[in-house]
Every structure is written in structure tokens, then in C-alpha cells.
């Protein structure tokens, strides 16, 4: 019986290896970015405001747990999620945190102070509205994420380019903006700018991963 319990303990040790790899806010942020698109170490380091060396160390820890894999491209190393199940694990972790930790709601409100300023549209409503004329679906994520996969019919104008490209947006259309999902502020900032210039705007809270998990297809 004792030997059997020891063998079972080895299973829990393996599970704890994966949990240990996730038990760091920097590594979770890296996973969140890799859900959107594969990236090089330098790109990830810039996005998370860490040195390339520190970013590489965190990525190695994720790789040791088989959560990410990498490919060499000349002098660069590009990381991606090892399996779509890793993205689902991240979303389930978020969901449990939302249910069990009241602090999540307070932290999200602090990060997205404008999140209740704009009307929201559901994925089902969006699919119905996109059949109609007069609706523009705007992807305000970085171009690399748009190229990796985006919602059908979405137009890419990264947030950092939006003010300079306002002339590309028809003034009489309903603008539906989305970004990386409910823990991303890009769409809020885009809608704040657009609404101040007179556009009729709404936000899609979900991002590409949530769209896929709901059984919908992406365009590439």
C-alpha cells in the first residue's frame, strides 16, 4: 500500500511541475501573449518590459514544463504554445480566479477604468450584425497578432496607428472594436478615441481565443 501511494505521489509531482511553471505573473503574461501569436524572445521582452535575458529564463521554465516550444529562425528564436490545450488551461485558470478571488474584479477595474463606458456586443450579436451593411469590425491588436489569426471580416488598425489612420474609417458606420479579450485595454482606448471624434462605437469583450473556444473559425 505504501509503495502504491508513493507511485501515486509521482503523478502529483508531475502535476506540480506544471503548476510551478505557471506560478509566476511574468510567465502568465508571456503565455497570454503567445495565445495571440508566436513571437521571438526580443518581441516578447519588449511587450512585457523585461530584459531579453530575463524573458528567456521565464520561457525556458515554460518550455521545461512542455507548455511552449520554439523554432530557430536564423539568429532568432520564435516561441509558440505547445498545444491549444495550454490556452484553454490559461483561460480556465482565469475563470477560477474570477470566481474565487474578489480582488480580480477590483484589479480589472483599476486596469480598465473605461470598461463600463461603452456598450458591449456579444459574439452572437456580432455575427448577426456583420451580415448587415454599416458595421466595421476593428482589430486594434498589433499587426503580428492580426496576421496570426483574426475574426472574419475584421480590419486591422493597431491602436498605436489609429489616430493617424482615422481617415480610413467611414464616419457613418458602427465600429465594433476588439483586442486580446477581457483583460486587454487596447479596445477601450480605441473606442475612447473614436467616440470622442463622433463615431458610434461598441466593444466586443472576447478576443480570438475566446472566439475559437466558442466553436467559431478565424481568418488568417
Beta strands in 61-118 (DSSP E): 68-73, 76-81
Closest CA to 66 of 86, 42, 92: 86
Quick: pLDDT tens for 42-72: 999 999 999 999 999 999 999 999 999 999 9
Q: Residue 3 — very low, low, confident or very high, per pLDDT cuts 50/70/90?
A: low
Residue 178 phi, psi dihedral angles, 5° rounding? -145, 160
pLDDT value of position 207: 96
Q: How many CB atoms lie within 10 A of CB 88?
A: 14
Read out DSSP for 180-211?
SSTT--HHHHHHHHHHHTT-EEEEE---HHHH
Quick: pLDDT tens for 165-192: 999 999 999 999 999 999 999 999 999 9
Question: Is residue 109 over pLDDT 70?
Answer: yes
pLDDT value of position 2: 61
* pTM exceeding the 0.75 threshold for the entire prediction: yes
Average pLDDT over residues 210-214: 93
Contacts of 177 (CB under 8 A, 6+ apart): 138, 140, 187, 190, 191, 194, 201, 202, 203, 204
Question: Is residue 5 over pLDDT 70?
Answer: no
More confident: 85 or 134 = 85
Average pLDDT over residues 115-143: 93
pLDDT value of position 1: 59
Average of per-residue pLDDT values in the chain? 94
- Catalytic residue (choose from 179, 201, 208, 209): 179
pLDDT value of position 131: 84
Task: Verify whether residue 179 is a known catalytic residue.
Answer: yes
More confident: 75 or 153 = 153
CATH number of 2-88: 1.10.10.10
pLDDT value of position 6: 73
Of all residues in the chain, the percent with pLDDT exceeding 90 is 89
CA 47 vs CA 25, 42, 147, 187: distances in Å: 14, 9, 17, 17
pLDDT value of position 180: 97
Domain boundaries, the chain: 2-88, 111-213
Q: Quote the DSSP letter at residue 74.
A: T
66 vs 52: CA distance, rounded Å: 20
Contacts of 61 (CB under 8 A, 6+ apart): 21, 24, 27
Question: What grid cell was written down for 12?
Answer: 502529483
Would 2-88 and 111-213 be classified into the same CATH topology? no
CATH number of 111-213: 3.40.250.10
Residue 79 phi, psi dihedral angles, 5° rounding? -100, 150
pLDDT value of position 7: 79
Q: For the chain, how many residues are written?
A: 220
Residue 146 phi, psi dihedral angles, 5° rounding? -60, -45
pLDDT value of position 62: 97
Amino acid at each position: 500500500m505504501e509503495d502504491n501511494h508513493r507511485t501515486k505521489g509521482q503523478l502529483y509531482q508531475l502535476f506540480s511541475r506544471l503548476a510551478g511553471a505557471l506560478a509566476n505573473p511574468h510567465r502568465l503574461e508571456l503565455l497570454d501573449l503567445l495565445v495571440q501569436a508566436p513571437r521571438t524572445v526580443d518581441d516578447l521582452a519588449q511587450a512585457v518590459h523585461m530584459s531579453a535575458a530575463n524573458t528567456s529564463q521565464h520561457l525556458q521554465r515554460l518550455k521545461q514544463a512542455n507548455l511552449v516550444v520554439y523554432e530557430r529562425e536564423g539568429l532568432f528564436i520564435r516561441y509558440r504554445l505547445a498545444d491549444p490545450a495550454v490556452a484553454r488551461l490559461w483561460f480556465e485558470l482565469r475563470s477560477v480566479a474570477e470566481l474565487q478571488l474578489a480582488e480580480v474584479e477590483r484589479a480589472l477595474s483599476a486596469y480598465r477604468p473605461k470598461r463600463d463606458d461603452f456598450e458591449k456586443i456579444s459574439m452572437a450579436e456580432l455575427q448577426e450584425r456583420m451580415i448587415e451593411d454599416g458595421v466595421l469590425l476593428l482589430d486594434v491588436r498589433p499587426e503580428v497578432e492580426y496576421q496570426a489569426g483574426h475574426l472574419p471580416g475584421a480590419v486591422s488598425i493597431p491602436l498605436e496607428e489609429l489616430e493617424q489612420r482615422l481617415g480610413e474609417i467611414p464616419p457613418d458606420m458602427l465600429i465594433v472594436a476588439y483586442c486580446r479579450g477581457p483583460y486587454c485595454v487596447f479596445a477601450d482606448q480605441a473606442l475612447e478615441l473614436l467616440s470622442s471624434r463622433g463615431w458610434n462605437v461598441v466593444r466586443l469583450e472576447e478576443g480570438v481565443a475566446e472566439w475559437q473556444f466558442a466553436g467559431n473559425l478565424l481568418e488568417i
